[in-house]
Chain A
Amino acid sequence: MRWLGVNQRLEVGAYTIEAPLTYVTTTTRAELDASCINLRLPVGRPVQQAKGALGYWPQYSRISPDQRANYLAWMASGRNAPLADIGYAFLFFYGMERRALVEGQDIPAILAETTRLLSLYPESASFRGYLGSFVAYVLARAGVERLTESDFERILLGVPGILSDSALSVALAWLQHRNQPLPLVLAMEIARRDVRSPRSVVTERLPDQFRALFAAKYAARYGDGVKLKAAANPMRLEYHPASPSLLTMGSYRSSLAPAVLPNVVGLQSQFQPLVSIWSECIEELKPLSRQTAKGVAPHTREAYRALPAALKEGTDHPDKARWDSLVADNVGEDGRVLLPASAVAPLVDVSERPKLTLRQSVDLADTAQEVGFLIVPDPHITGRAYAWDDLICLFRPAGAAALPANGSYRAAASILELGMAMAAADGQVEDAEIAHVARFLEGHFTLTEDEQRYLAAYQAILQHRPPSLARLSRRLQGALTAEQRALVGRFLVGVAATNGVVERQEAAALRVAYNALRLDTAELDALLAELRSEPAAPAPAETSIALNTALLEQILAETEEVSRLLGQAGEEVEELETGTQPPLDTPLVVTHPSGEQPMPARPQAPDPIADKPVVLPLPGVPSQAILALDARYHALLADLLSHEVWDKEEFSTLVRRYGMMPAAALEEINTWSDEHLGDFLIEDGDAYGIRRELLENEP
C-alpha cells in the first residue's frame, strides 16, 4: 500500500486522477486501509443509486464495481463533482485521516484538501462534524501557538461549517493564547451552543436582524470583543476517527493521544454575558417575528414598528419621505404644522370616514413619532380618536421623539383645555386670558422643554378650535372628587376674571360649567360677588397619597431580584439535563419496539408500528429540545404527534405498546415540553389533546 501525493497522478481504468492524495495497492490484504484503491479490482460503470446504498463505513475493496466507478469518476473530477452520497467523500477522507494522524505525513496538503471539501460539501452535518474535529485535532496536536493569524482566519473563521465543538475549543484557545478579543462570529456561535441560551424560531426566521442586533449589543458592551480566560486545568482534546480501519486498529488509541490546549471552554461563567445578549435579542425580536409569521412584508410600517430600538436607529422608516414632504409643504413660521386629520390620515392608509377608530388614531400618532415628529393631541394621552376634520399639530422635538411621560403634563393639558374653553366663552380668546392660563401653568407645573412645546402646540389648536366647556366639565365631573371639582370651578372663575371683567357670556359659561361639574351655583355667585371687589385666581391642589419614590425604587429593584432568583430554576434544570447530551452534529436514529435496537419491547400481539424508524429531529421539534428528552420516549412522541386527540384508552394502549406506563410517559413528556417548548404538549382532560401549536410557534 503506497501513498500518492499532490504531485502525482493515478490512472485506474478509464479514469485519470490528478493529486490523488490516497493509498493504492495491487494486493488484497485484509489490513489495508478502507480507502486504499486496489488496482486489480474490477471497475464497472457509474450508476445512479439511492442515498445510503454505499453503507455506513464504505471500503473500496467491498463496494460494488459500479460504485467504484462512481468513486473514481468523482476522484477524476478533481473531487469537485456533486455527490449523491456523502459516503464517497468519507471514503476518500479515510485515507487522508490515516496519512496525517498515523503516519504524520503531508499534513499541510491534507489540511488544505480537508477544508476545501468542507467548503464544497457543507450539507452533511456528519461530514462537517468529522472533518471539523479532524482539523481541530491536527491543529491542537501541532500546538495552538504554532498557528499563524492568517491560518486562524483562513481555516477556523473562513471555512463554513468547520466549527465543530473541538474546532471551537481550538479557536478559543488560540485567541486566549494571543490575548486577542473574541470576534463576533465566534461570540454568536458560543451563545448559540450554550445550553443556557433559549431556543427560538426567531433565530431562523430573522437571521439577518438577529445577527445585526447581536452585533450591536456585543459592540456596545465589549467594543472589539471579550478577552478570554482559561480554566486552571488544561483541556485534553480527544479524537474519534471516522475511518473503520483506524477504529479497528488496536493501536489507534496510542497513536491518537489527546492533544492538550488552554481550556477556555471550561470557564463557562465568562460566557454568561453572551447568553444574556442572546436572550435579549430573542425577546426583542419576538414582535417582529410574530409580524413576519403573519406575512407582514419587511419594509412596511408594521414591520418597522416591531423592530427593536437598536435596529430602528440605523433604519429609515419606510414612510419617512411621505411625511417629510407633507410637513415641508405645510410648515408655518413657528416651525409647527397645523393640519386637519384628513390630510394626515392617508399616510397610514386610512380613507375618508367621519371619525377614525382609536386604533387608527394611535397608529397615526405612533407612525408620526417613528418618523421623528410629535403629534398633538396624541390619542395615547387623550384616549380619544380623531374626527376626520379635527385639527392636529406636528412638530419636530428637540431630542428624540417621545411623548410627555409624567403625569404633570396631562394635568397641565387638562387645565389648558379648561382655560381655553373658558377664555373662548365670550366669543374671543384674548391675549390676557391666554397669558393668565400660561402663568398659571408655569406656576403650578414643572414641564420639560419638549413638554412646553407640546403644550404650546396644543394651545395653538385650542385657539383655533376651543373645546366645549360643558363637555370638559362633564368629563371632569366623572373623574374628580367634589373637592377637586370645586377647585376647578374657582380656577375657571379666575380665567374669566383675568381681564378685570366677567362678561355676561362668561358668566353664563361659568354657570354651564358649574352645572356640568355638579357644583353649587350659589358658590359661583358668591365668588363673582367677591370678585367685584378683588380678583382672584385660585390654584387647584389635589390631596393624594404621597409615594416614597426612593422606597418604590427599592421595592422594584428587590422585586426584579426576586424574579431573577425565581427564574433561575428553569435554567438550572435545563443545564442539568442537556449538559451531557451528544453533539448536535450527530444524527440520532431510534427504532420502534421490536426493531433491532434494544428498546424495552414487551412481546404482544403483532404490532403495526414495528420497524418504523424515526429519524430525529422530529418535524417541528427543535433539535436542541429533542435531545433533552430521554431517547426511549422519542418514538412514542413521534406517534403521539400523529394525532391531535387521543382518547384515554388509545393513549394507554399506545404507551403500553412501548412497554411504558401511561402516567410516567405523560409526566416525562410534559415536563420536557414545559421546559423546552414553553408549555405542556399533552393536555390532560376527558381525552389527551396534543398541542401542536407549541411546535409551530416560538418555543
Chain B
Amino acid sequence: MSVAIKPRERDAILSSLRAGVVPRIGLRHIQVGRRDEVAAVLNDLERVGQGGASVRFIIGRYGAGKSFFLYLMRAEALERKFVVAQADITLERRLHGSGGQGRALYAELMRNVAVRAKPDGGALASIVERWVSDVDHQVRQGGGADAHVASAIHERLKGLQELVSSYDFSTVIQRYFEGFQKGNDTLQDHALRWLRGEYTTRTEARQDLGVRTIIDDTNVYDYLKLFAAFVRLSGYAGLLVNVDEMGVLSHRLSHAQARMANYEVLLSIVNDCLQGNVGGIGFLFGGTDAFLDDRRRGLASYEALATRLAANRFATEGLRDCSGPVLRLETLRVEELHVLLQRIRSVFAGGDPAKHLVPDEALLAFLNHCQRTLGAEFFTTPRDAAKAFVGFLSVLEQNPGTPWQQVLTGTPLERSTEPDEQVPVEGDPDAGGAGDGSSDRLAAFRL
C-alpha cells in the first residue's frame, strides 16, 4: 500500500537532497533497509521512555549513513514525545575541555534542543514553559495564587535533589516564572541563557539570577542528567542526546591527554547507562570505524572502553548482534541504492505510484549511468547519485513529455571528495590546529 507524503515533507526532502544534505523531516520516506538497527534504537527509546537509559555508538565508514541514521532516530524520537538535543563534535565543542569546550558542546546541544512542535531546535523555552504552565494550572485550580506557584515550583523540583546543582536549577526555573509574572523579558532571557550554559562567570550569573553555580566544562554530563530528569517531569518521554562526528576526538584532537579526558567522560556515560545509574536519557554517538577501532587513537586505545564496546565474538561474517552498545552500519549495496531511487521517485510523486515520473527501467538505466560516470563502487557513497537523481527527476517534472532517456544522458554526475582524505594524521603539523573545517563536511549528505 502506498503511503501519502505530506507536501511539507516532500518539499523538505527534495530540497535537502538537491543540496546534498540530510533532510530534517520526512526521513522515513527515504529510509532504506536497516531494520535491525532501527529496531534496536527504537527498543532503546522505549526503555528510556520507561525510565531507563541507553547508549549506542553508530559506527560506519564514510558514506555508510551514520548522520542519516542519527537524524532518522532524532525524527522518530520527536514523534515519540522525546526531547532531542543534537550537536556535532568539533575541536571547540567536546565532551571535556579546559578552555570552555565542554560548556560549548552543552550550549550547542541546548540551542539545538528540539521537540515535536519545534523540530528545528530552539525548544528550550517551550520545555520550561510547558512544565511551569502545568504547575501554574494545577496550583490555580486548587485556588492558589502567584506565591503558591513559586513555592510549588521548588516543591516539585525537589525530586531532582539527588542530582548535582538541582537547587540552582530550580531557582533559575523560578526566576523564569517570575519574569513571566512581571512581564520582565530580560529576566526570562537570563534564565534561558543560564539553562543554555551561556554564562561564563559565576559573578555574572549571581548578579542576574542570584545563583552561585554555572554550567561549565566540569559538569556538562551532570547537567545533561539533570535536564533529562526535568524533561521527564515536564511530561516528555525522555531526553535523547545525539552527538555526531566523534571521529574528531580520535583523529583531530592531537593531544593524547585531552583525548583520554574525553574518553573518560564517555566511559562514565557508558557505565551509567549500562549499569542503570541514570534514567530517562539516551545517547547516540556517531563515528567512523577508525574512531572505534584505531588502537593508537580510537576508543580501542582506552582499555576500559575497548572491553565494554567489544564486538560479540559469535557475530562473525553474515551474523549481526544489535544488542551491544555498538551498531555497525554497513555501506549500501547497489540493490539498496536501487530501493533508495525507488523511494525518491515515490517522494516526487507524493506517494502516489500513478504519478511516478519514470518507469522502473529508468532506475536501472540511471544506475548504469552512475556506474559509467562514477565508477564501479559508486553505490557505497550514494550522496552523489541521490543528488543527481533528484536533479534528473526535477528536469522531467518541469518538462513533461520529455523522454527520460534524453534527460538521463545529459544528467551530470560529480564525485565528491571523501572527507577522511583531508583529515590530518598524527604528526601532521596542522593536526589539532584551530582550523576545524568540519562544518562544511558536516553538511554533507551521507546515506
Contacts and interface: CB of A to CB of B under 8 A. Distances in A.
A287 B409 CA distance: 34
B360 A598 contact: no
Given A384-B401, A569-B80, A666-B117, A659 B136 contact: yes
B29 to A, nearest CB: 8
Contacts of B4: 283, 286
B39 interface: yes
B31 A559 contact: yes
Given A479-B408, A600-B140, A600-B141, A663 B126 contact: yes
Interface in A556-577: 556, 558-559, 561-563, 565-567, 569-570, 572-573
Given A551-B335, A671-B117, A479 B409 contact: yes
A213 B292 CA distance: 55
A610 B34 CA distance: 55
Interface stretch (B154-162, B366-374, B423-431): B366-374
A515 interface: no
A680 interface: yes
Contacts of A38: none
Given A358-B401, A545-B368, A679-B6, A664 B133 contact: yes
A280 interface: yes
Interface in B124-160: 125-126, 128-130, 132-133, 136-137, 140-141
B115 A562 contact: no
Contacts of B79: 566, 569-570, 573
Nearest to B408: A479
A383 B403 contact: yes
Contact of A552 (B115, B117, B129, B338): B338
Contacts of A598: 141
A532 interface: no
Contacts of A545: 334, 364, 367-368, 371
Nearest to B9: A679
A160 interface: no
Contacts of A570: 79
A687 interface: no
Contacts of B360: 407
Contacts of B136: 600, 659, 661
Nearest to A573: B81
Interface in A356-379: 358-359
A482 to B, nearest CB: 11
Contact of A668 (B130, B140, B359, B368): B130
B339 to A, nearest CB: 5
Interface in A370-404: 383-385
A551 B334 CA distance: 10
B118 interface: yes
Contacts of B361: 407, 410
A678 interface: yes
Nearest to B128: A663
A148 interface: no
Nearest to B404: A383
A581 interface: no
Contacts of A562: 28, 31, 33-35, 38
Interface in B381-419: 400-406, 408-409
B338 to A, nearest CB: 6
Contact of A563 (B3, B116, B367, B406): B3
A669 B129 CA distance: 14
Contact of A479 (B125, B400, B403): B403
Contact of A661 (B118, B180, B404): B180
Given A410-B361, A481-B372, A559-B33, A547 B334 contact: yes
A251 interface: no
Contacts, number: 155
Contacts of A601: 140
A674 B368 contact: no
A544 interface: yes
Given A383-B404, A555-B33, A679 B8 contact: yes
B335 A548 contact: yes
A468 interface: no
Interface in A642-664: 659-664
Contacts of B35: 558-559, 561-562, 565
Contacts of B76: 566, 569
A601 B141 CA distance: 9
B336 interface: yes
B115 A671 contact: yes
If over half of A's interface residues share one DSSP class (helix, strand or loop), that class is named, otherwise mixed; here it is helix
A454 to B, nearest CB: 15
A468 to B, nearest CB: 16
Residue from A385, A561, A572, A667 with most neighbouring chain B CB atoms (10 Å):
A667
B123 interface: yes
Contacts of B409: 478-479
Contact of B126 (A359, A385, A479, A666): A666
Contacts of A664: 126, 129-130, 132-133
Is the interface on chain A under 10, 10 to 19, 20 to 34, or 35 or more residues? 35 or more
Contacts of A667: 115, 117-118, 123, 126, 129-130
Nearest to B134: A664
Contact of A566 (B31, B130, B137, B404): B31
B315 interface: no
B129 A547 contact: no
Contacts of B365: 544
Interface in A533-552: 544-545, 547-548, 551-552
Contacts of A573: 79-81
Contact of B401 (A385, A548, A660, A668): A385
A507 B368 CA distance: 33
B1 interface: yes
Interface in B9-54: 28, 31-35, 38-39, 42
A565 B38 contact: yes
A552 B364 contact: no
Interface in B144-198: 180
Residue from A359, A479, A481, A545 with most neighbouring chain B CB atoms (10 Å):
A545
Contact of A680 (B42, B117, B404): B117
Contacts of A383: 401-404
B333 interface: yes
A99 interface: no
B364 A547 contact: yes
A552 B335 contact: yes
Contact of B335 (A283, A547, A563, A666): A547
A563 B28 contact: yes
A662 B8 contact: no
A407 B80 CA distance: 42
Residue from A358, A475, A566 with most neighbouring chain B CB atoms (10 Å):
A566
B432 to A, nearest CB: 40
A578 interface: no
9 smallest CB-CB distances across A and B, nearest first, come from: A479-B405, A670-B117, A407-B361, A664-B129, A569-B79, A661-B129, A600-B140, A358-B401, A664-B133
11 contacts: A287-B352, A383-B403, A547-B338, A559-B31, A561-B35, A566-B31, A566-B76, A569-B76, A570-B79, A659-B137, A668-B117
Interface of A: 280, 283, 286-287, 358-359, 383-385, 407, 410, 475, 478-479, 481, 544-545, 547-548, 551-552, 555-556, 558-559, 561-563, 565-567, 569-570, 572-573, 598, 600-601, 632, 659-671, 674, 678-680, 684
Given A283-B4, A667-B126, A667-B130, 20 more contacts: A283-B3, A286-B4, A478-B406, A544-B368, A545-B364, A551-B333, A558-B33, A559-B31, A559-B33, A563-B28, A567-B28, A569-B76, A569-B79, A601-B140, A661-B130, A662-B129, A667-B129, A670-B118, A679-B6, A679-B8
Interface of B: 1-4, 6, 8, 28, 31-35, 38-39, 42, 72, 76, 79-81, 115-118, 123, 125-126, 128-130, 132-133, 136-137, 140-141, 180, 333-336, 338-339, 342-343, 352, 359-361, 364-365, 367-368, 371-372, 400-406, 408-409
